[in-house]
Amino acid sequence: MSFGKMKMFSVSHKTVFVVDHCPYMAESSRQQVECDVLTKSRAQGVIPLAPVSKSLWTCAVECSMEYCRILYDVYPKDKLINYIVSDSEFHILNSWRQEDQSIQELMAALAAVGPPNPREDPECCSILHGLVSAVEALCKITELQHEKRTALMDTAERVANRGRIICLTNAKSDTHVRMLEDCIQETILEQNKLAAGSDRLMAIQQCELVLVHIYPQGEDTLVSDRPKKEISPLLTSEVHSVRAGRHLATKLNILVQQHFDLASTTITNIPMKEEQHANTSANYDVELLHHRDAHLEFFKSGDLHMAGTSTRENGLKETVTLKWCTPRTNVIELHYCTGAYRISPTDVNSRPSSCLTNFLLNGRSVLLELPKKSGSKVISHMLSSHGGEIFLHVLNSNRSTLEDPPSISEGCGGRVTDYRITDFGEFMRENRLTPVSENSHNPSGKLPFERAKSQLERYTRYWPMIISQTTIFNMQAVVPLANLIVKETLTEEDVLTCQKTVYNLVDMERKNDPLPISTVGSRGKGPKRDEQYRIMWNELETLVKTHAAATDRHQRVLDCIIACRSKPPEEEERKKRGRKREEREDRTEKNGNKEAEDKSWQESERLKSLLDKEDQESEVIKDSPDSPEPLNKKPRLMAEETQPQERAKGPVSLLTMWTNRITTANSRKHQEFAGRQSSVNNKFELYQHLKEENGMDVHENGKATR
């Protein structure tokens, strides 16, 4: 049976802790703990308490117990721990049975073991005793493994046996570490031989060794860190060199998250009453560990930045920040929940963590929201207890599948509505996945999913999403080339079709045919025809360049485009002259109205000055009492002929000025009527010969008298 089919149990099903109990572990960690800070007032003359420091053994036990506590909180059943202490011999503190899996059992057993004896002979003590016992423990069958083997019967070999060994020791050097790894490798091979002939043992298919070298603060480490390395198909090993104290606690906190797929959530702005001032409250933060699937929606939607992801002090693991939302009622309301995961406080003994857990265990629930700077709040999680255990509930904060699908304008692009929806439907149709029979063979040797990924990559190298961002995909003339150029290989017929498409585009440019250029967001008429074709050729060249390296025939299509774009010099000169002529006509069109208006204005001003002068002369003649009546004079044929019937009052319109100009020009082209020439003040008496026959005199002013 191949290793790939053994999927029943992972490495995290079994974890063996091997803690060194040799005399050198009694050495001080040199991280001092102040004992005098608890006394609020000290009587005069009392000597303050001296600080104390923990031993390497105490640090190792505390940190390993914290590892076990988090594991039991989040996985109370499926994940098992076997704890072994090693000195002159090994001491197994518990078994794989479910009733032995508790912090209380382990703490009671550790109390019986006691601290290391510094006077014991170091030569008799070794961590190897515990490591050999750990390999033997991994070969033992757990209750869950036995159930699976019994249920499967004929296929019992499918039940895999994997495990992890975490060794906390003080190694001497890198050579010492390699010796420990070789010893474990030999022991695994020996135990697998024994397990092959026994029904009560299982051979080890995979073992992970995590060796943590602990050394006092202030000293240089003799063991270097090493990432995970495969020693053999059965054994992988990694080494961590850590200072004792808080550094060791941080390291094991990170390891438990890595080993069991845990994630961190920090709840902020938790209101709490102050002990010293009962009437005031302050906001605190509490960090919780849980399975990483509680953040799955954030990973899917890419909203981890919205959830306030931040790196903690150690800079190795991230925590997602959620904000406390004050509960309005004690009753747990019915929420649309998509998952529930057990939680474990990172700092279980802190006052904020204790207050939060007591608050939840009393039947209250807490809603958690994404911290947003603006907009409505989004409640994403809820904390609540069930049966004495606290769970982090994942609430559905996204659109429900029961709702109508969203409008396309509500997507990532905002209010963009000109998506290439029809083209995208065609794109999906061309890249649809279908089942492939096992007998089908591809000459290239690629697997079907690899071929599918390769085709999808080719089709999306250049694929604008919006209609206004492309020209060639809006042109029916380019469709044959666009469909062929994305193929993995081209035939000679395909190359000819592509070249014919390019020549058709050249012919379109020669005929000056219009192109479907989008003018959205631009003022005026949009780009000129030459500019439109330049944009089209650039985009076409960009499309073909992304595929030109595939085969020589793809390159020939690109060469054809480049050759057609490089026009002969006389063609360029003709285009340049055409552009200059268009610019000149545009300038003439813009300036023509202005020049006509200026000329008309100057003509009207000249006419106005002549009229004013004539008015002044006539007023002098009329107002003088001694002057004789004016003689009958012929009208002037120059400026007087253009005298309007009434002088315009106020500004003169463009139509009036243009009419005056036309009238003046036309008056020079014909002979004036005889009656108008002999008129007085533009008045002429008609039928004068009839009045003369009746004996009436006619005065110069045109009035008859007896």
| pLDDT one-digit tens code per residue, 404-445 | 555 665 555 555 677 888 888 898 998 888 887 766 666 667
Cα–Cα distance measured from residue 472 to residue 504, given in angstroms and rounded to the nearest whole number: 13
Cβ pair 139, 195 in contact under 8 A: yes
Q: Which stretches within 264-341 are classed as H helix?
A: 296-301
> What contacts 566, CB < 8 A, 6 or more positions away?
none
**248 and 135 in one domain?**
yes
pTM: 0.59
Nearest to 461 by CA among 535, 538, 548: 548
299 phi/psi in degrees, rounded to 5: -65, -40
Confirm whether 640 is domain-assigned.
no
Instruction: Tell me the two tokens of residue 305.
Output: 């930045």
Question: pLDDT band at residue 85, thresholds of 50, 70 and 90?
Answer: very high
Nearest to 61 by CA among 113, 129, 126, 128: 113
Amino acid identity for residue 364 in this structure: R
Confirm whether 195 is domain-assigned.
yes
Domains in the chain, number: 3
- Half-sphere exposure of 256 toward its Cβ, with a 13 Å CA cutoff? 27
Last residue of a domain, one of 260, 278, 305: 260
- pLDDT at residue 701, rounded to an integer: 47
Whether the per-residue pLDDT at 341 is higher than 90: the answer is yes
- pLDDT at residue 278, rounded to an integer: 56
The residue-averaged pLDDT of 571-586 equals: 60
Residue with the bigger pLDDT between 384 and 629: it is 384
Cα–Cα distance measured from residue 54 to residue 27, given in angstroms and rounded to the nearest whole number: 9
**246 and 282 in one domain?**
no
Residue with the bigger pLDDT between 285 and 43: it is 285
**313 and 235 in one domain?**
no
Last residue of a domain, one of 536, 570, 604: 570
Whether the per-residue pLDDT at 689 is higher than 70: the answer is yes
- pLDDT at residue 213, rounded to an integer: 94
Per-residue pLDDT of 233-258, as tens digits, reads 999 999 999 999 889 999 999 999 99
Per-residue pLDDT of 537-550, as tens digits, reads 989 999 999 998 88
**551 and 496 in one domain?**
yes
Cβ pair 131, 22 in contact under 8 A: no
Cα–Cα distance measured from residue 668 to residue 654, given in angstroms and rounded to the nearest whole number: 22
Nearest to 73 by CA among 254, 319, 343, 255: 343
Whether the per-residue pLDDT at 391 is higher than 80: the answer is yes
**159 and 250 in one domain?**
yes
Question: pLDDT band at residue 183, thresholds of 50, 70 and 90?
Answer: very high
DSSP 101-170: -SHHHHHHHHHHH-S--TTS-GGG--THHHHHHHHHHHHBPPHHHHHHHHHHGGGGGGS--EEEEEEEE-
Residue linked to tokens 């060249």 = 541
- pLDDT at residue 340, rounded to an integer: 92
Cβ pair 483, 426 in contact under 8 A: no
Cβ pair 449, 535 in contact under 8 A: no
Question: pLDDT above 70 covers what percent of the chain?
Answer: 72
**231 and 287 in one domain?**
no
Question: pLDDT band at residue 302, thresholds of 50, 70 and 90?
Answer: low
User: 111 lies in which domain range?
Assistant: 14-32+50-260
Confirm whether 509 is domain-assigned.
yes
Instruction: Tell me the two tokens of residue 467.
Output: 């209609």
What's the full length of the chain, in residues? 706
> What contacts 96, CB < 8 A, 6 or more positions away?
14, 80, 82, 137, 140, 141, 142, 143
Per-residue pLDDT of 14-33, as tens digits, reads 999 999 999 888 888 888 77
Last residue of a domain, one of 227, 260, 293: 260
Confirm whether 7 is domain-assigned.
no
Whether the per-residue pLDDT at 640 is higher than 60: the answer is no
CATH number for the domain including 309? Answer: 2.40.290
Per-residue pLDDT of 650-663, as tens digits, reads 677 888 988 988 88
**269 and 234 in one domain?**
no
Cα–Cα distance measured from residue 221 to residue 172, given in angstroms and rounded to the nearest whole number: 9
Residue with the bigger pLDDT between 342 and 319: it is 342
Residue with the bigger pLDDT between 628 and 34: it is 34
Handedness of CA 224, 229, 231, 237 (dihedral sign): positive
The residue-averaged pLDDT of 111-134 equals: 89
**70 and 205 in one domain?**
yes
Rg (CA), the chain: 49
Whether the per-residue pLDDT at 301 is higher than 70: the answer is no
28 three-class SS? strand
Cα–Cα distance measured from residue 376 to residue 204, given in angstroms and rounded to the nearest whole number: 54
Question: pLDDT above 90 covers what percent of the chain?
Answer: 30
Nearest to 601 by CA among 654, 531, 547: 654
Whether the per-residue pLDDT at 309 is higher than 50: the answer is yes
**245 and 370 in one domain?**
no
Q: 358 has which bridge partners?
A: none
Cα–Cα distance measured from residue 70 to residue 289, given in angstroms and rounded to the nearest whole number: 8
Q: Which stretches within 362-447 are classed as H helix?
A: 421-430
- pLDDT at residue 233, rounded to an integer: 92
β-bridge pairing 14-20 and 80-86: parallel
**310 and 172 in one domain?**
no
Q: With the CA atoms of 34, 40, 45 and 46 taken in that order, what torsion angle do they form, in degrees rounded to the nearest 10?
A: -50
The residue-averaged pLDDT of 68-74 equals: 94
Cα–Cα distance measured from residue 108 to residue 11, given in angstroms and rounded to the nearest whole number: 27
CATH number for the domain including 121? Answer: 3.40.50.410
The DSSP 8-state label assigned to residue 330 in this structure reads: S
Cβ pair 144, 78 in contact under 8 A: yes
Confirm whether 588 is domain-assigned.
no
30 three-class SS? strand
Q: What is the rounded average pLDDT for all residues in the chain?
A: 79
> What contacts 564, CB < 8 A, 6 or more positions away?
502, 503, 505, 506
The residue-averaged pLDDT of 449-476 equals: 88
Confirm whether 91 is domain-assigned.
yes
Burial class (CB in 10 A: 0-12, 13-18, 19+), 77: exposed
Confirm whether 565 is domain-assigned.
yes
Question: pLDDT band at residue 526, thresholds of 50, 70 and 90?
Answer: low
**190 and 280 in one domain?**
no
412 three-class SS? coil
**68 and 175 in one domain?**
yes
- pLDDT at residue 611, rounded to an integer: 54
Question: pLDDT band at residue 648, thresholds of 50, 70 and 90?
Answer: very low
Q: 704 has which bridge partners?
A: 698
- pLDDT at residue 623, rounded to an integer: 41
Nearest to 210 by CA among 101, 107, 131, 316: 131
Question: pLDDT band at residue 603, thresholds of 50, 70 and 90?
Answer: low
Per-residue pLDDT of 629-639, as tens digits, reads 444 444 444 44
- pLDDT at residue 634, rounded to an integer: 45
592 three-class SS? helix
